[in-house]
C-alpha cells in the first residue's frame, strides 16, 4: 500500500520551481499532488505523479537531485474528526510522522492525507486493523 513520491531539492528563489515543472509538463507527466516544504534558503518539492520512474529519470537526466520516498495515502471523510481517527489509530505506538500533507479528493467528500512514517509497514498494519481506508497507488494516481 506504499506510494512512491518524488522529492526534489530546490533553492528558495524565484523561478526555481518553474524549471522542473516545465520539464515534466513537456513530457506530458501530470502531477497528482504537490507539496513544498521550505526553509528560508531552500526547500523540498514533494510530488505524486502517475509515472514516477519516468519522471525521476527525466529529472535526473536534466541534472536535478531527485529522490523516491515511500509514503502512505490515507482516505478520510472530509468532516471534523476525520484526521483525529487516523492519529488515534497510531497513538501508543513508536511510529513517528516525519511529515504529512493533505489534499481534497476530486471524486467525492473524502480528503487524502499523505504521510511519511518512520516505519511505514508498521503504520500500514495499525491503520488497516483500525479500519482506516488506505489508498493504493493505482487508484490514487488514476486520472
Partner 1 sequence: MSTNLETSSADCYPLSVPDYTPLDELRDLQLKRMQAVVTRAWQHVELFRSRMDERGLKPEDIRSLDDVKKLPFTQKSDLRDTYPFGLFASPMKDVVRLHASSGTTGKPIVVAYTQEDVDVWSSVLARALAGCGLRRGDIVQVAYGYGLFTGGLGAHYGAEALGATVVPASGGHADRQLMLMRDFGVTAMCCTPTYFLHLIDRAAELGIDMKKLPLRAGVFGAEPWTQSMREYIQKMSSIEAFDIYGLSEIIGPGVGCECRRHNGLHIFEDHFYPEIVDPETGEPLPDGTEGELVLTTLSKQAMPMIRYRTHDMTSILTGTCPCGRTLRRIDRIGRRSDDMLIIRGVNVFPSQIETALLETEGTLPHYQILLTRVSGLDQMEVQVEVTPQMFNDKIGALQELHQRLQGALDRVLGIRVRVSLVEAHTIERSEGKAKRVIDRRTS
Which positions touch partner 1 (CB under 8 A)? 5, 7, 9-11, 16, 37-39, 41-44, 46, 63-65, 67, 69, 98-99, 116
For partner 1, give the closer residue by CB, 19 or 136. Answer: 19
CB atoms within 10 A of CB 121: 13
Q: Where are the alpha helices (DSSP H) in 10-136?
A: 18-26, 52-61, 82-90, 120-129
Q: How far is the CB of 37 from partner 1 (least distance, A)?
A: 5
For partner 1, give the closer residue by CB, 65 or 130. Answer: 65
d(CA 86, CA 126): 10
For partner 1, give the closer residue by CB, 56 or 113. Answer: 56
Q: How far is the CB of 120 from partner 1 (least distance, A)?
A: 13
d(CA 140, CA 32): 8
Q: Percent helix, strand, coil in the chain (nearest 5)?
A: 30, 40, 30
Q: How far is the CB of 128 from partner 1 (least distance, A)?
A: 24
Residue 132 is given by DSSP the state P
For partner 1, give the closer residue by CB, 37 or 87. Answer: 37
Q: How far is the CB of 105 from partner 1 (least distance, A)?
A: 24
For partner 1, give the closer residue by CB, 41 or 138. Answer: 41
Q: How far is the CB of 5 from partner 1 (least distance, A)?
A: 8
The full 3-state SS of 23-40, as one line of letters, equals HHHHCCCCEEEEEEEECC
Amino acid at each position: 500500500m506504499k506510494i512512491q513520491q518524488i522529492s526534489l531539492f530546490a533553492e528558495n528563489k524565484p523561478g526555481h520551481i518553474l524549471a522542473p515543472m516545465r520539464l515534466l509538463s513537456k513530457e506530458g507527466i501530470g502531477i497528482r499532488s504537490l507539496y513544498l516544504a521550505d526553509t528560508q534558503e531552500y526547500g523540498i518539492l514533494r510530488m505524486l505523479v502517475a509515472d514516477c520512474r519516468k519522471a525521476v529519470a527525466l529529472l535526473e537526466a536534466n541534472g536535478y537531485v531527485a529522490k523516491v520516498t515511500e509514503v502512505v495515502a490515507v482516505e478520510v471523510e472530509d468532516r471534523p474528526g476525520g484526521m483525529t481517527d487516523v492519529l488515534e489509530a497510531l497513538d501508543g505506538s513508536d511510529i513517528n510522522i516525519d511529515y504529512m500533507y493533505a489534499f481534497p479528493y476530486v471524486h467525492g467528500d473524502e480528503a487524502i492525507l499523505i504521510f511519511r512514517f518512520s516505519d511505514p509497514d508498521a503504520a500500514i498494519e495499525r491503520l488497516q486493523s483500525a479500519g482506516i481506508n488506505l489508498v493504493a497507488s493505482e487508484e490514487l494516481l488514476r486520472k
